[in-house]
Chains A and B, each alone.
Chain A
Amino acid sequence: MALRQTELRPMGKPVGRKEDPRLIRGKGRYVDDVMLPNMLYLCLVRSPYAHARIRRIDTSAALAAPGVKLVLTGEDLAQMNIDWMPTLAGDRQMVLARDKVLFQYQEVAAVVAETRAQAEDAAQLIEVDYEPLPVVVDPFKALEPDAPIVREDREQKSNHIWHWEAGDREETDALFREAPIVVKQQVRFPRVHPSPLEPCGCVADYDSARSKLTFYVTSQAPHVHRTVLAMVTGFPEHQIQVISPDVGGGFGNKVPVYPGYVCAIAASLKLGVPVKWIETRTENITSTHFARDFHMTAEIAAREDGKVLALRVKTIADHGAFDAAANPTKFPAGLFSIVTGSYDFKAAHVEVDGVFTNKPPGGVAYRCSFRVTEASYLIERTMDILARRLNMDPAELRLRNFIRKEQFPYRSPTGWVYDSGDYEKTLKLALERIGYEELRKEQAEKRARGELMGIGISTFTEIVGAGPAHTFDIVGIKMFDSAQIRVHPTGKVIARLGVRHQGQGHETTFAQIIAEELGLSVDDVLIEEGDTDTAPYGLGTYASRSTPTAGGAAALCARRIREKARKIASHLLEVSEDDVVWDGTAFSVKGLPGRSVTMKDVAFAAYTNVPEGIEPGLEATYYYNPPNLTFPNGAYIAVVDIDKGTGAVKVRRFLAVDDCGNVINPMIVEGQVHGGVTEGFAIAFMQDIPYDADGNCLAPNWMDYLVPTALDTPRWETDRTVTPSPHHPIGAKGVGESPNVGSPAAFVNAVVDALAPLGVEHIDMPIYPWKVWRILREHGVTE
């Protein structure tokens, strides 16, 4: 049960959320709630073909339709020099297609009208004459020499985008040559979609008299959006104000800039009135960016006693029609090289090839630190395959191979320096809490009776919190983050940060950090994010980076304030600064605890009674460039029972033991774990976006792309260990994505474990009941 917000020392406590009072009253302000005078609506016309030449676009009927104010095509945008825009991965993307379309549902024209309905009606009247072209949807076929070229605009006439590697090929090959045991598995991580409940959208409001563009957008990264929009439109950056109002979930979907945004801005610039574009769910799934779609092959070389030696990984990454994966510049395959996971490999070599296909662009970090979900799933799956080969318990194999606690800071074979962890402790806690030994006994009894029960383990290591700035940038902008704190005369605080929450509870957790550092209560601290005119520059909220980056900035910024406050306190207490001690809630005189002043006293003095030689006021800004990433980790265990008649998998129990370092608010951490495991569960059992040979999307809405309801979703058990990050100002690591990163492997490992007596080694996600049913029938298992 949530605590009140008026207590001092709120760190680590389940403080009730400050954002909730408006949201439970229906008084949130999401982007579609922005309704401005004279506002018009924009509707996009999309391609029915996955690959086709555009011969002609006839807009005359649409222009004559009731209420229509403007129609935009690629030609119109070309005249404004905005028919292409940069992606966050160093490629470029068409805003509205001109010569040809590259995927089904691609944006071809925009209609602006007085009402939503008029815009939609008129969009139907736009006639596009298409000449269909051969389509390539399979990334392996896309690499064949005679494959149709998706991107004719590039110099390189192939569908290959880039090749990327990490680790040491020779050392890895040498270890493989000598290893007595080698296992190999092909694994696909399906194409999925973050699908936050609120789709993407914006309102562009150009005020020509003030020469100002106000852009309301449901964005996880408003500052980056402003910079990119300034680059695309040529509109001066300081005259663009990006406001990301309440955001109805993001999960990575709301990091990129989408064509609809540029069209709304172009329309507002032309018409001088506000223009709103809100996508439908179908548009969300079919065009704003997808995630994953990795075709991976992993090989592990090991000794007979189970000690792992080397890891070799080859991956084909399907990026769709544009390389828009939202990755840091130097990392086209994101942080995928974390693929050695929690295990002490001697060497590793990882290769990834990016490929264009006639499918929507993306590869966004869906609740994921840039491909760590794919990496974690792959290693956890392959470790289980090795355990099976060795006939060893998967928990035992993991315990034998963990990086030991005394090895931290640990340099991985692909070059990451893990900050801290105690993997053995975390797994042992999980095994004990779930009753592992009894479960294995029960399983043996059930197997003897022909019943199918499985236990799956995943002991993942995450890598989150990009920066540091020397390694990470997005479109050239270094990945730091920021906080600015103002303490007002009455001791009340307003703090602004460069990140933008979408449900993570920053208004509460960052208030906890600042209140803790300043000896105030959460009630005293108001957190604001999402307005580029007021907040300091930051890279945004995704990849579990808010607490590692902006959380660090908040703590250090508050400490900067405390240092100044100490000077003022020494003046008020009439002792030298050295004799002033801070006890967490007040400054007092060393040895005289009765003589003290609180932060509120100091704040008042900062404006009313400033000592000589000290600048008045009490505020600070801090740009925090983290020295390293943080490495949250966890041990997850799933227990499943399989119905032999239907192939349905029932998740009987699921325990998530997380180590995310020091915890700011345990209630919020638990909520993040519940939500993330639910998404992992959905990915494991029900989600994929398939395309037919003509490039038609076969799961374009929530009837076909399944999201779990309360009835589908199991109950989750949670626990934690705490290994603080040694380099983070408050020892925190971040947790939002861990459950989504760590859980799919636990689910799949459990199902494969249940089917192991049949000789099953692997099943690709999503594990639909029919897949299991077919495997059972193939093995002659019936009810």
Chain B
Amino acid sequence: MKIRVKVNGRWYESDVEPRTLLAYWLREDLKLTGTHIGCDTTSCGACTVLLDGKAVKSCTVLAVQANGREVMTVEGLERNGQLHPLQSAFWECHALQCGYCTPGMLMASYALLQENPNPTEEEIREGLSGNICRCTGYMNIVKAVQTAARKMSGESQEALEEVAANGASAD
């Protein structure tokens, strides 16, 4: 089946078997190997990506279901050589060890902060409860998400001020 999917801002066209899972299509056809696979029961969230802005486990979505839609993977977080605040917070807070869960954690955290820019610790733990980490014990992941949330609200504050000073840009 032919599909057309926008991934990290760019349209890709592909001919896929109907049973191809989105995770494998991203990894093997587009070579976006940041999306990982850790289980066969939709338990671990290592494969989490955004589909039209919502976090999904890409091992449990067919590539054809993404046809005409927009996917964002961990490779899409960095903009113009600048790490996303979540990425830098994960680094600063030592929120990763082996790093295998990290792409999924980052994408789940991204979706969480989109919905709730200022989550409590409990809300973060709940929001990430579909993602398993075998290394960190989660404490530093929670801390990183809190740190990123603060950075992002600070930044949007700055952005607001900039808009006030210079007028909105047409993006």
User: Which residues of A come within 8 Å of B, CB atoms?
Assistant: 1-2, 16-17, 19-21, 23-30, 32-33, 35, 116-117, 195-199, 246-249, 251, 280-282, 502-505, 667-668, 670-672, 674-679, 701-703, 707, 709-711, 713, 715-716
Question: Is B146 part of the binding interface, using a Cβ–Cβ cutoff of 8 Å?
Answer: no
Question: Is B74 part of the binding interface, using a Cβ–Cβ cutoff of 8 Å?
Answer: yes
Q: Which residues of B contact A667 (CB under 8 A)?
A: 94
Least Cβ distance of A118 to chain B in Å? Answer: 10
Question: Is B90 part of the binding interface, using a Cβ–Cβ cutoff of 8 Å?
Answer: yes
Per DSSP, chain B at the interface is loop
Q: Do A709 and B128 contact each other (CB < 8 Å), given the known contacts A2-B91, A702-B41, A716-B137?
A: yes
Expressed in whole angstroms, the Cα–Cα distance for A198 and B103 within the complex equals: 13
User: Which residues of B come within 8 Å of A, CB atoms?
Assistant: 17, 19-20, 24, 27-28, 31-41, 43-44, 46, 73-75, 77-78, 83, 87-88, 90-94, 96-103, 106, 124-126, 128-142
Q: Is the beta-carbon distance between A28 and B43 smaller than 8 angstroms?
A: no
Q: Which residues of B contact A701 (CB under 8 A)?
A: 39-41, 43
| Besides the known contacts A24-B102, A25-B74, A25-B83, 20 further A-B residue pairs in the complex with CB atoms under 8 A apart | A2-B93, A19-B99, A23-B102, A24-B99, A26-B103, A32-B36, A35-B28, A195-B134, A197-B98, A197-B101, A247-B98, A248-B36, A248-B38, A502-B98, A671-B97, A674-B139, A678-B136, A678-B137, A710-B138, A711-B126
Q: Is the beta-carbon distance between A25 and B133 smaller than 8 angstroms?
A: no
Q: Which residues of A contact B34 (CB under 8 A)?
A: 25-28
Q: Do A246 and B39 contact each other (CB < 8 Å), given the known contacts A26-B32, A709-B132, A710-B141?
A: no
Expressed in whole angstroms, the Cα–Cα distance for A678 and B136 within the complex equals: 8
Expressed in whole angstroms, the Cα–Cα distance for A17 and B88 within the complex equals: 12
Q: Which residues of A contact B124 (CB under 8 A)?
A: 710
Q: Which residues of B contact A674 (CB under 8 A)?
A: 136-140
Q: Which residues of B contact A671 (CB under 8 A)?
A: 94, 97, 135-136, 140
Q: Which residues of B contact A504 (CB under 8 A)?
A: 97
Expressed in whole angstroms, the Cα–Cα distance for A668 and B106 within the complex equals: 20
Give 8 A-B contacts (CB < 8 Å), ordered by A residue.
A25-B83, A196-B98, A197-B98, A248-B38, A249-B134, A674-B137, A710-B138, A711-B126
Q: Is the beta-carbon distance between B139 and A703 smaller than 8 angstroms?
A: no
Q: Which of chain A's residues has its CB closest to B104's CB?
A: A197
Q: Which residues of A contact B31 (CB under 8 A)?
A: 35
Expressed in whole angstroms, the Cα–Cα distance for A668 and B44 within the complex equals: 24
Q: Is the beta-carbon distance between B75 and A198 smaller than 8 angstroms?
A: no
Q: Which residues of A contact B99 (CB under 8 A)?
A: 19-20, 23-24, 28, 246, 248, 503
In-complex Cβ contact of B73 among A26, A282, A668 (8 A): A26
Least Cβ distance of A666 to chain B in Å? Answer: 10
Listed from nearest, the 8 A-B pairs whose CB atoms lie closest are A26-B34, A248-B100, A503-B98, A23-B99, A503-B97, A674-B137, A26-B74, A678-B137
Q: Which residues of B contact A248 (CB under 8 A)?
A: 36, 38, 98-100
Expressed in whole angstroms, the Cα–Cα distance for A703 and B42 within the complex equals: 9
Least Cβ distance of B7 to chain A in Å? Answer: 13
Q: Is the beta-carbon distance between A280 and B40 smaller than 8 angstroms?
A: yes
Q: Is the beta-carbon distance between A281 and B138 smaller than 8 angstroms?
A: no
Q: Which residues of A contact B137 (CB under 8 A)?
A: 674-678, 713, 716
Q: Is the beta-carbon distance between B43 and A703 smaller than 8 angstroms?
A: yes
Least Cβ distance of A31 to chain B in Å? Answer: 11
Least Cβ distance of B74 to chain A in Å? Answer: 4
Q: Is the beta-carbon distance between A197 and B132 smaller than 8 angstroms?
A: yes
Q: Which of chain B's residues has its CB closest to A672's CB?
A: B97
Expressed in whole angstroms, the Cα–Cα distance for A747 and B112 within the complex equals: 32
Least Cβ distance of A692 to chain B in Å? Answer: 20
Q: Pick the most buried of A2, A21, A23, A711: most chain B CB atoms within 10 A of its CB.
A: A23
Q: Which residues of B contact A1 (CB under 8 A)?
A: 92-93
Expressed in whole angstroms, the Cα–Cα distance for A160 and B170 within the complex equals: 77
Expressed in whole angstroms, the Cα–Cα distance for A61 and B126 within the complex equals: 48
Q: Which residues of A contact B140 (CB under 8 A)?
A: 671, 674
Expressed in whole angstroms, the Cα–Cα distance for A247 and B135 within the complex equals: 12
Expressed in whole angstroms, the Cα–Cα distance for A66 and B88 within the complex equals: 46
Expressed in whole angstroms, the Cα–Cα distance for A504 and B38 within the complex equals: 19
Q: Which residues of A contact B77 (CB under 8 A)?
A: 25
Expressed in whole angstroms, the Cα–Cα distance for A713 and B39 within the complex equals: 20
Least Cβ distance of A709 to chain B in Å? Answer: 4
Q: Which residues of A contact B37 (CB under 8 A)?
A: 32
Q: Which residues of A contact B88 (CB under 8 A)?
A: 24
Expressed in whole angstroms, the Cα–Cα distance for A389 and B40 within the complex equals: 48
Q: Which residues of A contact B36 (CB under 8 A)?
A: 30, 32, 197-198, 248
Least Cβ distance of A244 to chain B in Å? Answer: 12
Q: Is the beta-carbon distance between B135 and A116 smaller than 8 angstroms?
A: no
In-complex Cβ contact of B100 among A20, A197, A282, A679 (8 A): A197
Least Cβ distance of A618 to chain B in Å? Answer: 32
Expressed in whole angstroms, the Cα–Cα distance for A667 and B83 within the complex equals: 22
Q: Is the beta-carbon distance between B101 and A116 smaller than 8 angstroms?
A: no
Q: Is the beta-carbon distance between A26 and B128 smaller than 8 angstroms?
A: no
Q: Which of chain A's residues has its CB closest to B32's CB?
A: A26
Expressed in whole angstroms, the Cα–Cα distance for A228 and B59 within the complex equals: 35
Q: Which of chain B's residues has its CB closest to A283's CB?
A: B40
In-complex Cβ contact of B33 among A26, A675, A703 (8 A): A26
Q: Is the beta-carbon distance between A25 and B40 smaller than 8 angstroms?
A: no
Q: Which residues of B contact A247 (CB under 8 A)?
A: 98
Expressed in whole angstroms, the Cα–Cα distance for A26 and B23 within the complex equals: 14
Q: Is the beta-carbon distance between B138 and A713 smaller than 8 angstroms?
A: yes
Q: Pick the most buried of B37, B78, B94: most chain A CB atoms within 10 A of its CB.
A: B94
